[in-house]
Amino acid sequence: MRLHDVWEAESPLPGGRTLDDLETALRRGHPPPAVAALYGLRRALAPLLDRGSEGFVPVYLEPEERLYRIENRTVTALLHVALVDRRPRLAVYVRPHGALGRGYLALIEPFRRFVVYPSLVRRASASATALARAGSTGPGR
């Protein structure tokens, strides 16, 4: 398995907030239309690519670090999320499964690199900033 990507959000997560808080904030929002369209296309291909896969399954979940694993017909991959100096950092490790996996990774490379991950990192930064604002305007502050 090799390190495929590392991305870091620009905005730090405020003290006292955990990755659970960040994931909750990210799930409340909606991805940009281009990302939503790519996710829709990927879901449409799922019956061909994901036979027997459960999607991303947590390996471990800690307040400031977590690891998810996925295995399907194309890849075995690990998604590691950690707070590094309070900044959310995403590392992706991938092992392609044969020619299908290598071809799939090559096909999605520009979308992943220039659309999906940059959007996710921007949304994580915006969510961290929103959580900081919410914490500074909460009750008794």
**Any idea what DSSP says for residue 93?**
E
- The closest alpha carbon to 12, from 83, 71, 60, belongs to 83
- The closest alpha carbon to 45, from 104, 92, 93, belongs to 104
Calculate mean pLDDT across residues 51-65: 89
pLDDT at 134: 83
Distance CA 133, CA 136 (A): 5
Question: Under a CB-based contact definition with an 8 Å cutoff, are residues 75 and 94 in contact?
Answer: yes
**Any idea what DSSP says for residue 91?**
E
Residue 54 pLDDT level (bands cut at 50, 70, 90): confident
Calculate mean pLDDT across residues 122-134: 90
- The closest alpha carbon to 59, from 47, 71, 41, belongs to 71
Residue 2, token pair as written in the block: 């090799």
Distance CA 29, CA 51 (A): 29
User: What is the fold of 2-132?
Assistant: Alpha-D-Glucose-1,6-Bisphosphate; Chain A, domain 4 (3.30.530)
| Least reliable range by pLDDT among 9-13, 89-93, 130-134 | 130-134
Question: Under a CB-based contact definition with an 8 Å cutoff, are residues 79 and 92 in contact?
Answer: yes
**Tens of pLDDT along 71-99?**
999 999 999 999 999 999 999 999 999 99
Q: Within a 10 A sphere around the Cβ of 87, how many other Cβ atoms?
A: 16
Query: The dihedral of CA 65, 38, 4, 94: what is its sign?
Result: positive
* Position 113, amino acid: R
Strands 65-71 and 2-8: unpaired
